[in-house]
Amino acid sequence: MAEKKEAGTATFPKEIVKFLSSPGGHSLILRGMAGTGKTTLALQIIEELAAVQQSYYMSTRISDQSLFSQFPWLLEKVKEGEILKARKKIRKRADSEQQVEKILLGLAAIKGELKSEKVKSPRKELMRLQGIVEAGGEEPVAEPGVGEQELIVSLGTMMPEIEMAYDVVDKALPERTLVAIDSIDALAEKYGVPASRMINTLQKDLVEGVGTNLVYVLETPDPLLDYLGDGVIYLSLNFTTGRRIRELDILKLRGCEIRQPKYVYTLLGGRVRTFEYSRYIKPDRPKPLASISDPDAKHVSTGIADLDAMVEGGLRKGTIILIELGPGVPVVASAPIENAVICNSVTQGRGVAWVPTKKTGAENAREELLGFVSADAFDKNVKILEPHAPAGAPKPYAVTLEGEDIRVDMKWQDVQYNLKNAGTPVLTMVGFDSLESVYGPTVLDGMMEFLTSLLNNDGIFVATVTPSVRSTSRLSDLAHTHLRIDKISGVTMVRGEEPFTAPHAMTDPEPGDFRPKLVPIL
């Protein structure tokens, strides 16, 4: 049975949770450009697994107080004992001599205190992985500045962070522990040890030795150390739409199936929230739409509270609204917004003149909204203007357009007459791909008289355009509100060109509803 998720709640990549929850120890590298949220992701991973694994977060550059200031939710989690372990300065005795020996061997390997005959050199293993030294080859010569004499130090003096991580692992055994090191390259720099050598040693002692989960945060986006991790996550910023879109790439999760390799995510509220691929399907039992009242006398609600806030109070009466679909975006992507505007008008008893996009005919367009609004309310308040309507008995909700001259087919007086039993202001919703396919690319010229009369009567004109529509540029000049819809990594994104807004991800609606939540990508 598919996992049921509550609409509007935070989501997190299932692949990462499954990877770190599977048997055995695993290492995960988090890397990316500055400001992409690597620290936030590391803390979020700990929170996601807090119920099943003990955890230790090691911050090498940021103090606890700074963390609490940046992530207010973290302080409460610390109080609950779910994320950060107390910082200890004294090493505790392990439960068995075998564990003590294993841990000391690992520390000594980093510091160069042991000879090669007692333990395999982490650096030697690293060189083998790189293909520089063949198996059975000689130990490479130590690099300048990291020789044996320089690395001989007393335990508990030079590497207290490492020792505390080992302490936490000791205390939790035989249970598994999750250790996050933020950042591994800063820690390596502090002690003059190559980051690759430190990762190799921790991998052998903690991951392979006792089944610990290790998360390494890297301060560089370079993939040079990717081969050392069992898993690799890359965080990046995408500016192709003219806005900053955050993307999470799952490059590798050894032994784990990756169903969605790339996620769009936001850092809203100091947390990582990802968005999954989704496709709207009308629910079997649609709920009657609960209408949203107009915010004031000058504006009409879109029917989506998040969208009202995004466009600064809803749709202004007597204006043109443009909904533009980006390249490769299917026409159905705009349907939730269009349908919400129409249904909210219907529930308020207002008239709607509708020319659907080419994706659907009049009968299918009506059927898509029934259940959210009643058939009687729809037939009374909505007239679907259908060019070249199919033959058959006339439908009470459909008006046939001849398709020869838009000036004749679309007159304000005719719309007023057909909607005489409906209230005002009148909403006109037009898919310009349909109009241009019938009347040609200059159809907007023939609609100017209708537009003038509609707007003078406080009506609202909503135009939906696809990349092939020729009227887009002129509609953009006329529009008071301009929304742009794009698809990024399978996620439908809405942004305001006028007014200018951050991109918002369209998430799944509440059960029985069709209206999405809009979550800003910050």
Binned at pLDDT 50, 70 and 90, residue 220 comes out as confident
Strand partners, 54: 177
- Does 104 score more than 60 pLDDT? no
Residue 33 placed within a domain: yes
151 vs 224, higher pLDDT: 224
Q: Which residue has the tokens 């890297």?
A: 218
Burial readout 226-262 (b: 16 or more C-beta within 10 A, e: otherwise): eebbbbbbbbeebeeeebebbbbebbbbeebebebeb
Which of 143-157, 432-446, 453-467, 486-500 shows the lowest per-residue confidence on average (mean pLDDT)?
Answer: 143-157
**pLDDT of amino acid 393:** 65
Q: How far is CA 266 from CA 251, 272, 501, in A?
A: 19, 6, 15
Binned at pLDDT 50, 70 and 90, residue 115 comes out as very low
In the chain, pLDDT over 90 holds for what percent of residues?
A: 54
Which of 204-218, 390-404, 462-476 shows the lowest per-residue confidence on average (mean pLDDT)?
Answer: 390-404
Q: Give the distance, in angstroms, between the CA of residue 274 and the centroid of all CA atoms in the same chain.
A: 4
Q: Which residue has the tokens 């009227």?
A: 471
Residue 12 placed within a domain: no
Three-state DSSP at 20 gives helix
d(CA 211, CA 503): 41
Answer yes or no: do 487 and 396 share one domain: yes
- Does 134 score more than 70 pLDDT? no
**pLDDT of amino acid 280:** 78
Q: Which two tokens stand for residue 500?
A: 């200018």
Answer yes or no: do 305 and 176 share one domain: no
The pLDDT of 167-191, averaged and rounded, is 86
Single-letter amino acid, residue 520: P
DSSP class of residue 296 equals B
Q: Which two tokens stand for residue 422?
A: 């409906």
Please report, for the domain that includes residue 430, its CATH number: 3.40.50.300
**pLDDT of amino acid 166:** 79
Residue 221 placed within a domain: yes
E-strand ranges in 23-76 read 27-32, 54-59
94 vs 302, higher pLDDT: 302
**pLDDT of amino acid 95:** 41
Binned at pLDDT 50, 70 and 90, residue 22 comes out as very high
Answer yes or no: do 80 and 214 share one domain: yes
**pLDDT of amino acid 20:** 95
504 vs 119, higher pLDDT: 504
Answer yes or no: do 220 and 362 share one domain: no
pLDDT tens for 411-440 read 999 999 999 999 999 999 999 999 999 999
The pLDDT of 52-80, averaged and rounded, is 72
- What is the enclosing helix (H) or strand (E) of 353? strand 350-355
Answer yes or no: do 232 and 310 share one domain: no
- Does 501 score more than 50 pLDDT? yes
d(CA 430, CA 318): 16
Of 237, 265, 287, which residue sits at a domain end? Answer: 237
Of 213, 237, 261, which residue sits at a domain end? Answer: 237
Range of the domain at 83: 25-237
Answer yes or no: do 475 and 343 share one domain: yes
Cβ atoms of 270 and 287 within 8 Å: the answer is no
d(CA 522, CA 520): 6
Answer yes or no: do 500 and 378 share one domain: yes
Binned at pLDDT 50, 70 and 90, residue 120 comes out as very low
- Does 217 score more than 70 pLDDT? yes
Q: Which two tokens stand for residue 386?
A: 């259908």
Residue 252 placed within a domain: no
**pLDDT of amino acid 82:** 54
Residue 278 placed within a domain: no
- Does 56 score more than 50 pLDDT? yes
Residue 289 placed within a domain: no
Mean pLDDT of the chain: 82
Q: Total structural domains in the chain?
A: 2
Cβ atoms of 426 and 454 within 8 Å: the answer is yes
Q: Which residue has the tokens 């799944």?
A: 508
Binned at pLDDT 50, 70 and 90, residue 174 comes out as confident
Answer yes or no: do 87 and 218 share one domain: yes
- Does 91 score more than 70 pLDDT? no
93 vs 99, higher pLDDT: 99
d(CA 499, CA 322): 12
Cβ–Cβ contacts within 10 Å for residue 331, how many?
18
Residue 242 placed within a domain: no
Answer yes or no: do 135 and 217 share one domain: yes
Of 207, 237, 267, which residue sits at a domain end? Answer: 237
Please report, for the domain that includes residue 101, its CATH number: 3.40.50
pTM, full prediction: 0.80
Strand partners, 486: 493
